[in-house]
Copies of this chain bind each other. A is one copy, B any other.
Amino acid sequence: MATSYRFAASLRRASLTSRAPARFQKLRPASQVRWTGNTSATSEPHQPDNKGTVKGAPAPAKAVKFTSETYPELQRNSKFTNLTQEHVDWFKNLLGSESAVIDGLSKDASADIEPFNSDWMRKYRGHAKLVVKPQSTEEVSKILKYCNENMLAVVPQGGNTGLVGGSVPVFDEIVINLAKMDKIRSFDQVSGILVADAGVILEVADNYLAEKKHIFPLDLGAKGSCQIGGNVATNAGGLRLLRYGSLHGNVLGIEAVLPDGTIVDDLSKLRKNNTGYDIKQLFIGGEGTIGIITAISILCPQRSEAVNVAYFGLESYDKAQEAFREAKKYLGEILSAFEMMDGRSQNLFKKASGKKLPLEEEHPFYCLIETSGSNTDHDSEKLQNFLEHVMESGIVSDGVLAQDQTQIGELWGCREGVPEHLGHWGGVYKYDLSIPISEMYDLVNATRERLTKAGLVGDDESHPAVDVVGYGHMGDANLHLNVPVRRYDKAVEKELEPFVYEWVQKRNGSISAEHGLGIAKKPFIGYSRNGTFLKLMKQIKDLYDPNGIMNPYKYI
């Protein structure tokens, strides 16, 4: 018989302290931190905005090590031509406007070029002497054709918010920045299909769609800076993937320029088009290595009127899996996020942030779920039914449900605040992994056991590692394995690698679930892809970019 226990009895209004406004204040110099986690980029002062200018005080350039020093095994490929004044003049002649070319060859423009040469994490830094900002697809075409004929290497760059160093040069590659291609071309209110230039800022696109009661089917912490072309080029994942699916399904068409200047006009405004190989898919996640995306056509869903967020504690990872299964069943079509945080990550978040957690008692695991739907009453009732069910059946130990927009923000803060606050003790080793859900948390336990056995993790200063924790997009089987450390330590690194990659490889997991390859993951691709697949990748690269000028030293 069902017990008479009602969830309502334990359902309390979330009473949280408001969040500290300053984010990323705990960031340590890049050399001590491996920033591969899903951290928000919006408040990072060094990050260039829409126009390529830097918000706030620029980071001291000296603080950023050149990538060529961090990766001494990388050598500039001598097949590439060195930039000359003649080249620069050609670009100036083509692009006209002073603001479209940053010329660091004929004069010292290092301060102007710096934001394009290095990434917002201050981890990667190139030696580019030229930045060009085309304003049309035709200009991109002429630029690439010229570079290809003259063997000038290039780096396509969107908002430069990536986490793997893919959008900044390594040596003297010319930066082709898409910021000036920022027009929304069309939106069809009936089909929900948006066509826009690659350089449109994600948030600008989403705000535009909000007025039309639609949403962009992708959401990211860096939405204020990242560009939709870059999102597509890196196949960004983000917070809405569980609900709206990947860009491979939502992007209906692209316009792209190949290295030889060919404009591929596959900017379909059709949801269905079954006439040939879906070649555009190669550009989605191609990270600018076979061409430059200049515009996209994307299917945008209706914006949901009702949004609810609940946060609850659970006894075990098995219970979290059960909760996810039940959430899919009870919330089905309105479930828009299912995030998991282990108790350790929430404890460290609490310690570092000084904030109270939403639940008074401690639990080994926590989950945050979000629903988005068209009817407030229905969604609340569904969520209530779900919560009653998981409470009564003992799947969930305790929980709270946000009562207003502020509380929604506060509950999300307990999940979104984790990455930044884990840096509190000095640094974090971070891994962005995809592993079948059933085994996902085993890796966190295995890694913790390994570091514990090696005597590297503990409560006092004598241990380099503070703890080994896991959190992430459970609904997408995307785990962020994090090892917060007091100091950078070779012994810790030796225990972590290749252990983590081998563990993931054995489960046919992915060593990069949503961040891509760039320069950071290139050496490790073999753990997620076999030799046959790498050969196929190389074929594609050689087919489209036989001279290898596109984003060299990265990806493949």
Interface residues of A (CB under 8 A from B): 188-193, 213, 234-235, 237, 241, 245-246, 248-250, 262-266, 268-279, 281-282, 284-286, 290, 301-302, 304, 321, 324-325, 328-334, 372-375, 378, 381-382, 385, 434-438, 473, 476-478, 508-517, 521, 525, 528-530, 532-534, 536-537, 539-541, 543, 555-556
Chain B residues closer than 8 Å to A302, beta-carbon distance: 328-329, 332
A95 to B237, CA, bound (A): 44
* A374 and B281 contact, CB distance less than 8 A: no
Chain B residues with CB under 8 Å of A528's CB are 273, 275
The 10 closest A-B pairs by CB, nearest first: A249-B249, A281-B281, A332-B374, A273-B510, A333-B333, A378-B378, A272-B513, A270-B434, A275-B528, A245-B249
Are A272's CB and B237's CB within 8 A?
A: yes
Query: Is there contact, CB below 8 Å, between B274 and A237?
Result: yes
* Cβ–Cβ contact A279 & B537, under 8 A: yes
Known contacts A276-B529, A333-B333; 8 further A-B pairs (Cβ under 8 A): A213-B329, A246-B271, A264-B536, A274-B512, A274-B513, A302-B329, A302-B332, A332-B374
CB distance from A415 to the nearest CB of B (A): 17
Interchain CA distance A511-B235 in the complex, whole Å: 29
Contact yes or no, B333 A271, CB < 8 A: no
- A246-B249, A373-B333 known; A276+B513 contact, CB < 8 A: no
Known: A246-B249, A374-B332. A190 touches B321 (CB 8 A): yes
Question: Is there contact, CB below 8 Å, between B378 and A375?
Answer: yes
Interface centre among A263, A271, A541, A555 (most CB of B within 10 A): A271
User: Which residues on the B side are within 8 Å of A534 (C-beta)?
Assistant: 276
> In the bound complex, do residue B282 and residue A286 qualify as a contact, i.e. CB atoms below 8 Å apart?
no
Contact of A373 among B324, B332, B517 (CB under 8 A): B332
Find chain B residues with CB under 8 A from A375 CB. Answer: 378, 381-382, 385
List 18 A-B residue pairs with CB atoms under 8 Å apart, sorted by A's residue number. A188-B436, A188-B438, A235-B274, A235-B278, A245-B245, A246-B271, A264-B533, A265-B530, A265-B533, A269-B436, A272-B513, A275-B511, A275-B517, A278-B281, A278-B284, A302-B332, A304-B332, A331-B374
A374 contacts B378, CB within 8 Å?
Answer: no
Complex CA distance for A263 and B438, rounded to whole angstroms: 27
Contacts of A277 in B (CB 8 A): 282, 285-286, 290, 536-537, 540-541
The chain B residue sitting closest to A555, CB to CB, is B276
Q: A266-B533, A279-B540, A374-B330 are in contact. Are A515 and B189 (CB under 8 A)?
A: no
Q: How far is the CA of A529 from the CA of B279 in the complex (A)?
A: 12
- Nearest B residue to A270 via CB reads B434
Complex alpha-carbon distance, A56 and B192, angstroms: 46
Q: Distance in Å from the Cβ of A546 to the closest Cβ of chain B?
A: 12
Point out the residues of chain B lying under 8 angstroms from A333, CB to CB. Answer: 304, 333-334, 372-374
With a cutoff of 8 Å between Cβ atoms, the chain B residues found around residue A556 in the complex are 276
In the complex, A246 Cα to B521 Cα: how many Å? 30
A377 to B477 alpha-carbon distance, docked (Å): 32
Residues of the B chain whose Cβ atoms lie less than 8 Å from the Cβ of A237: 272, 274
Given A279-B537, A374-B332, does the pair A274, B510 have CB atoms closer than 8 Å? Answer: yes
| Residues of chain B lying within 8 A (CB to CB) of residue A373 | 332-333
A476 contact from B241, B271, B541, Cβ within 8 A: B271
What separation, in Å, do the CA atoms of A517 and B532 have in the docked complex?
Answer: 29
Give CA–CA (A329, B213) in the complex, Å. 9
Query: Does A276 lie within 8 Å of B285, measured CB to CB?
Result: yes
**Partner of A274 from B275, B278, B282, B517 at Cβ < 8 Å:** B517
A275-B245 contact in complex given A329-B374, A334-B333, A437-B188, C-beta closer than 8 Å: no
The residue on B at minimum CB distance from A214 is B328
Q: Which residue of B lies closest to A511 (CB)?
A: B275
Task: Find the B residue at minimum CB distance from A186.
Answer: B436
Contact A274 B265 (CB under 8 A): no
Q: Is the CB of B374 within 8 A of A191?
A: no
CB nearest neighbor in B for A510: B273
Bound-complex Cα distance A250 to B245 (A): 8
Q: How far is the CA of A53 from the CA of B300 in the complex (A)?
A: 44
In angstroms, how far is the closest chain B Cβ from the Cβ of A451?
A: 26
Residue picked from A277, A381, A543, most chain B C-beta under 10 Å? A277
Report which of B250, B282, B508 forms a contact with A278, defined as CB distance below 8 A: B282
The minimal Cβ–Cβ distance linking A539 to chain B, given in whole angstroms, is: 6
Residue pair B533, A276 in contact (C-beta under 8 Å): yes
